[in-house]
A and B are shown apart, each in its own frame.
Chain A
Amino acid sequence: GAGVSQSPSNKVTEKGKDVELRCDPISGHTALYWYRQSLGQGLEFLIYFQGNSAPDKSGLPSDRFSAERTGGSVSTLTIQRTQQEDSAVYLCASSSGAGASGNTIYFGEGSWLTVV
C-alpha cells in the first residue's frame, strides 16, 4: 500500500478483555516496529521484526503483550486481559532495511486504545 496502515483506528474495550491491533506495512518493507505513545509522552519502543522474526522484543511491558508477523508482511499486536494503564496510541512503523542511516522509518497513524 501507499503507507503504513493500522486497524482499528480507535478501540474502546472493557478492562480484562483481549484486543488485537493490526499493522499492514509498506509493501516490500522488511523491518517493522511497534511503539506505544501515552498521553503527553514520547514514543516507547515495544518490538522490532525483521521478516517474521523478532530479534528485539525488549520493550514489551509484560507477558500480557505479544506480537507476531506472518508472510513478512502483516503484524498483529495482542494485549490480553487489558488494564487501564494499557490505554495509549499504538503506532506501527516500517522501513525498507534495518532502519539505520538512510532507511527512513515510516509511521502509521496509530490505533487509539481506551480501556474502560
Chain B
Amino acid sequence: QKEVEQDPGPLSVPEGAIVSLNCTYSNSAFQYFMWYRQYSRKGPELLMYTYSSGNKEDGRFTAQVDKSSKYISLFIRDSQPSDSATYLCAILGTSYGKLTFGQGTILTVHP
C-alpha cells in the first residue's frame, strides 16, 4: 500500500464548476499536508498547506483535512481555464521536509 493515494482522474469540468480533489494517507504520524499545482513542463508550486484537521480557505481554494479518516481534499470554487494543471497532494513525514506525494490528478477546465 502506498503511503499516499490520490484519485488519479483525469478530471474535465466546465468553467465555473466546483472541483474536488482527494487523497488518503496511511501513516497517522503525518502532521503537515500540502497541495501543489504543476503546470505542464514546470516545477510544482505550493498552493496551500495545513497542519490540523478542518478547513483552510485561500480565495477560491479550500483545503480540508480529516485526520480521523486520514483523508485530505482540495476544493476549487468557480474553476477557471487557468486552473488547468496537475494537482499533487503531499504530506510532510519528517522534520526536515521530506515530502511524500500522491500520483497527481490532471485537471482540465474548459471554457
Complexed CA–CA distance, A101 and B96 (Å): 10
Determine the distance from Cα of A107 to Cα of B42 in the docked complex, in whole angstroms: 9
- A43→B32 contact, CB < 8 A: no
The interface size of chain B toward A, counting residues with CB under 8 Å, comes to: 25
A100-B95, A105-B97 given as contacts; is B103 within 8 A of A42 (CB)? yes
Q: Is B43 an interface residue (CB 8 A)?
A: yes
> With A42-B6, A43-B44, A91-B43 given, is the CB distance from A99 to B88 under 8 Å?
no
How many Å from the CB of A59 to the closest CB on chain B?
Answer: 8
Residue B78 at the A interface, CB < 8 A? no
Residues on A with beta carbons closer than 8 Å to the beta carbon of B102: 42
Instruction: Give the residue of A42, A98, A104 whose beta carbon is less than 8 angstroms from that of B96.
Output: A98
**Residues in chain B within 8 A of chain A (CB atoms):** 4, 6, 32, 36, 41-46, 51, 88, 90, 92, 94-104
Residue numbers of A with Cβ under 8 A of B are 4, 31, 33, 35, 40-45, 48, 50, 55-56, 91, 93, 95, 98-101, 103-110, 112
Listed A/B pairs (8) with beta-carbon separation below 8 Å: A42-B88, A44-B101, A48-B98, A100-B92, A100-B97, A105-B97, A109-B41, A109-B42
